[in-house]
Amino acid sequence: MTQPVLPTPPIDLRQRMIEDMEMRRFSRATQRNYLRDVGRFAGFLGRSPGTATADDVRKFQIVQRNAGMPAPTMNSIVSALRFFFTLTVDRPDLAHKLVRAKHPRNLPMVLSPDEVARLLEATTSLKHRAALSVAYGAGLRVAEVAALKVSDIDSERMLLRIERGKGGRDRNAMLSSDLLAVLRAWWKAGHQLGIMHKNGWLFPGQHPAKPISTRQLHRVVVEAARAAGLTKHVGPHTLRHSFATHLLEDGVDIRVIQVLLGHSKLENTALYTKVATRTVRAVTCPLDKVMALMVAKAAPGP
């Protein structure tokens, strides 16, 4: 007896995209942003994004531009759609139709070492001071700070293990002796409070089973900056910028800084050369040499 041919079940593109991102170890934040941006495109189409045409992609980007959408936001959507078209629905032809918007890149805000000290001193708890010390002392992104576990501290090799950083990449971050001392003090205090466990989060949230949120860390930085009397616009990423800039000013090779930051491209790290003021001041101006020669020539002979 011939078996009836059953209809092929519809493909759940959302679930397929999640699986594609999971396979590449994308962070939860990246997955959430990519799904949101593809959903934005689906809302524009009014149908499944898997049925899009080249003209749909073109019209979508024109509408975004005419609506005054900021270039960074447009580029984030481009990244999400390129992933979706290339990997989830195997339509690289559509990915090639997406155009990234050019925009001037602002120089990062950087604190001086004295301002960093004032910021840390203005925190209201050991937990918050330890979290901000990690952000500055290891140059971590705010999501990386929040995702740290107690087991990520390698005190023997003096390293912090960063799992699934930006782009799903793992790396090692530096762990100085002073930072380790701060973390040990926080471990002791948190353990006594019953919120720290060997296999738990390094910075638990309001519920110990969940990590501190990036929003909470941002609020901690803003409040500490206000209490310290800092007039600069400060956020968690300011500490990462300051870490990289201070290393560069201290003569650390830029490629080493690239590895510590987890940058895939050197050009992203090179941005800090534009704000490393001590490095600029240490360079001898060629005019000084010329003036010295002129003075020497003008001086009367013996």
Which of 97, 127, 129, 166 is catalytic? The answer is 166
Is 210 a known active-site residue? no
Query: Torsions phi, psi of 21, nearest 5?
Result: -75, -40
H or E element at residue 255: helix 254-261
Q: Is 240 a catalytic residue?
A: yes
Is 141 an active-site residue? Answer: yes
What stretches of 124-210 show up as alpha helix (H) in DSSP?
A: 126-137, 142-146, 177-193
What's at 85, amino acid-wise? Answer: F
| Residue 271: DSSP 8-state | G
The tokens describing 182, both together, are 């701060």
Token digits of residue 172: 């090692």
Residues near 249 by Cβ (< 8 Å), separated by ≥ 6? Answer: 276, 277, 278, 279
Cα(34)–Cα(41) distance, rounded to whole angstroms? 11
Whether 166 is a known active-site residue: answer yes
**Residue whose entry in the numeric block shows the structure tokens 């720290």:** 196
* Catalytic residue from among 237, 241, 246, 297: 237
Residue 169 among the catalytic residues: no
Evaluate whether 247 touches 261 at the Cβ level (below 8 Å): no
Give the active site residue among 91, 240, 241, 246.
Answer: 240
- Asked if 141 and 263 count as a contact pair (C-beta separation under 8 A), the reply is no
**Strand pairing report for 171-174 and 159-162:** antiparallel
Which residue out of 141, 149, 246, 297 is catalytically annotated? 141
28 conformational bin, left if phi > 0, alpha if psi -120 to 50, beta if neither: alpha
Catalytic residue among 16, 82, 171, 263: 263
CA distance 153 to 175: 8
**Catalytic residue check, 34:** no
Q: How far apart are CA 10 and CA 168, in angstroms?
A: 29
User: Alpha carbon of 216 to those of 77, 125, 129, 219: distances in Å?
Assistant: 26, 13, 13, 5
Catalytic annotation, residues: 141, 166, 237, 240, 263, 272
